[in-house]
Structure 1
């Protein structure tokens, strides 16, 4: 399945059923009064959050969603059946924008939890049957109401992955190797840039059933905030994470400015959205298996000299990974507790 995080669709609720014109014609009531029932209500359009879905791909294939119309009223005071609502499932983390004719948009809903339901279009009311129009001056009304039309709206869907941790880094930093080592996720891994073309999700569980969701955001490059590389397409998925794990490959640690890679991506986050640059970060240098012990010690000393807290790992060999995961759990639980206190 392809990862698609934006789609625009049209939704249309059902029309109400027409009211009925009918009269009683029982054996002993040859000229009975009106008996036409009301039409049934049209179906609503309801969006429902589902944690089982991870993409908006289906909405690229089908662009029009219509609820059914209510049934018309019938004689003998029988009302038409209301139509069933049309429930459309969306991935959790989807934003719904109503698109108006002039091209402007309005945010109408944010699906943040599994099972959340949002009624977007109300079905039309059923028309009244002729039993409602009998009066002292008109004992045999021969008219009834038509059913009321439903609503039609254009809706733009935008998915922003909800994850606890966002993995950031330059292309080929080893993020996919890390997520494959610590979780059951199986992303494509290769030694060339932009192996990861879509966000990958990994899930960690502790002994108490608590889940820690990690999103591997595709490689960012300088100019990502302006749309260079793949960055602009996926930077929005960083917004809903609690904190970031920023991974820099040991291959990108230079002599003159060892941690320029960290600074560059921090600036890209700031240019895209100031709030992203303020997120809590865990900084990591990966691929230490490529370094000599002497060079590794030099980089450690550089971090101390610059006052940076940096964790050194080899996602391939597993060195330092367990300690990093423990720190991620620690940060996650601290931030969860802060949110509960607030």
Structure 2
């Protein structure tokens, strides 16, 4: 049953106010990405005595709505940042290296998460977020695999934490590793999770580093579509197989209820929308003002979604159940940093 606007309004207004605060802090301290601040404010709202009751009560329906539907809308608009020509400009070697980093980090993070005895669905979401584009990728994978909204909260918290860690740690390694701005930018783009975190990290080494970092990162973002499509094919095959087994186990002439359920789409509509926006950006038809407006809309949508997700995290529960998850995330973060560094050095040799 659809939620009435009166039920959604308190949570949506709360998200808007929190997002305004996040943008304000970001304007005062540019090194802190607004998206990361949105998650942090959500965490604070969920755990401070003065706000915890509000976000868990009257504001919860609207915050859940933002966490799910604004996330999907934000992924669509994210496509306006990706230009096929910019990606192809990296050259085939760089494209193969970036794809290799995504593939190996996806598989490696999933295996690490399972070694730490995390559930399969949680491991899948962590692997997707860490290897591709953070919370946006987690939202896309959760949708195509029909994973509950509440189960995305821990992966989003982990990918935000490790991406924020990269902002502080990676710039400190430029001189010890004797990296050129070009190599550092490529490393940042190949290994840091969220686009905003990539910008915050790479800009510490100048415009050259920032330019290559953004292009490499958006190449990873572009891989969101094929990865989600592959997950959708697998999900559809599994659902059809389960329905067939259920039907076969019933007496002749009886139709299994599960076989009557609509099979999940191979590619969700919002991922198709993302690809359409990539095509529109690559066409060159949109003026800079439209692209800037799209970037602003995307920040608003994803920021509100991330605040909604962050506001569902209870620190006490996270400390009780998330120790293994945190260990797995840090191990995966180290793996991706090493893979990204190796790819960056080969890319810029």
Q: Could you say whether these structures have the same fold, taking a TM-score greater than 0.5 normalized by the shorter chain as the test?
A: no
Larger Rg: 1
Higher share in helix:
2
TM-score by length of 1: 0.22
TM-score by length of 2: 0.21
